Amino acid sequence: MTLKVRVFNKYGVPQNLAGLEKSIFFFNYEDGRVLEKKSVKIKRPDRGELLVELTDFEVQGLPLGLGQNFMADLTINQKKHNVLFYKALNIVSENGRKVIMQ
C-alpha cells in the first residue's frame, strides 16, 4: 500500500527534495514498537512529494484510527530535518483487514 506525503518547510512552502540523500520514516505499532521505513520514492521533488510503500503485513500492525501522526528524518543536501506529519495517517478496517485511507 502506498502512502503519498508532501513535505513543507517552516514557511508552509513545499520543500524541494532534489537533494534528498537519506530518509527514515517512523510509524508507531499497536504494541508500542516502531516501524522504520528507509526506502521511499520521490514522486515530484519540486513539490515535496514522496511515496512511502508499506506492505500489507506492516499495515496490519498499525493502530486503527483517523488523523494519526508519524515522523520522518530527512537528510537534504547534508542537512538533517525532523519532520512531523500531523494527523496525516488514516487506518481503517475494510473486510476485516486494515488499510490506508488516503
Q: Percent of the chain beyond pLDDT 70? A: 100
Domain total in the chain: 1
Buried b (16+ CB within 10 A) or exposed e, 20-48: beebebebbeeeeeeeebeebeeeebeeb
Give the phi and the psi of residue 58 in degrees, each rounded to 5. -65, -40
Global pTM value: 0.92
Cβ contact 92:98 at 8 Å = yes
Of 71, 38, 68, 74, the residue nearest 54 (C-alpha): 38
**22: domain CATH number?**
2.60.40
pLDDT class of 102 with cuts at 50, 70, 90: confident
Rounded mean pLDDT of 66-73? 97
* pLDDT for 3 beyond 90: yes
Please report the pLDDT score of residue 39 as a whole number. Answer: 84
Structure confidence by residue, pLDDT tens digits, 71-96: 999 999 999 999 999 999 999 999 99
The mean of the pLDDT values for the chain is 95
Please give the pLDDT value at position 21: 95
In which domain, by residue range, is 28 found?
A: 2-100
